[in-house]
Chains A and B, each alone.
Chain A
């Protein structure tokens, strides 16, 4: 049972345009949702999170939107830069400090 799904394995966008990465979940008990970014040969690094009681959180070029009724969240990157090219994982957090990760989306930003 995949509690967190990222249905797009890859996404390609032009530099300067918006990147939208999507994530769906099934577990209503998640209290936070997080996005992690991973470069090749490195560990994932935390990017941005959102509480389950919010519908939007913004940090610079990165905004995460949460639609609880649809059990869907998305990460918007505006404007996209070549350095944003990486694999992005969404994750749900529950009590006990456990994270459940999606399969990841590889973002390629073309100059």
Chain B
């Protein structure tokens, strides 16, 4: 029972580099989300998707891009990494018309130096 799987778990980037955080889920959930967690700030929504081929911006989308070509995968791309993107990133999924129960991955800790 894998649930939501994120890779990599840790990554150090130099300013200006790009990378993709991978997220895959095996629960056949329509909804998928990317959050970032900064200390004391809770989780902020970056992007979300309600199904394959459909994505939309969340609260803090600047500097990120997403795609959703399949139900299972929802990668998050960071272009031109900046120190402000140092954070812990969580991918999550949920069934449609739910009551808010999201299933989270274990997180990806990204440091931009």
**Contact with B101, one of A31, A42, A46, A51 (Cβ below 8 angstroms):** A46
Please, which residue of chain B has its CB at the minimum distance from the CB of A104? B42
Contacts of A51 in B (CB 8 A): 99
Q: In the complex, A49→B102 CA distance in Å? A: 12
Is there a chain B Cβ closer than 8 Å to A43's Cβ?
Answer: yes
| Interface of chain A, main secondary structure | strand
Is there a chain A Cβ closer than 8 Å to B96's Cβ?
Answer: yes
Report whether B40 and A32 are in contact in the complex, using a CB–CB cutoff of 8 Å: no
**Contact with B40, one of A41, A49, A103 (Cβ below 8 angstroms):** A103
Contact residues, B52-93 vs A (CB, 8 A): 90, 92
Report whether B42 and A43 are in contact in the complex, using a CB–CB cutoff of 8 Å: no
**Contact with A46, one of B41, B43, B97, B102 (Cβ below 8 angstroms):** B102
Contacts of A103 in B (CB 8 A): 40-42
**Contact with A104, one of B40, B44, B97, B99 (Cβ below 8 angstroms):** B40
Please, which residue of chain B has its CB at the minimum distance from the CB of A92? B100
Please, which residue of chain B has its CB at the minimum distance from the CB of A94? B100
**Contact with B106, one of A32, A43, A91, A98 (Cβ below 8 angstroms):** A43
Is there a chain A Cβ closer than 8 Å to B31's Cβ?
Answer: yes
Contacts of B107 in A (CB 8 A): 41-43
Is there a chain B Cβ closer than 8 Å to A9's Cβ?
Answer: yes
Report whether A32 and B100 are in contact in the complex, using a CB–CB cutoff of 8 Å: yes
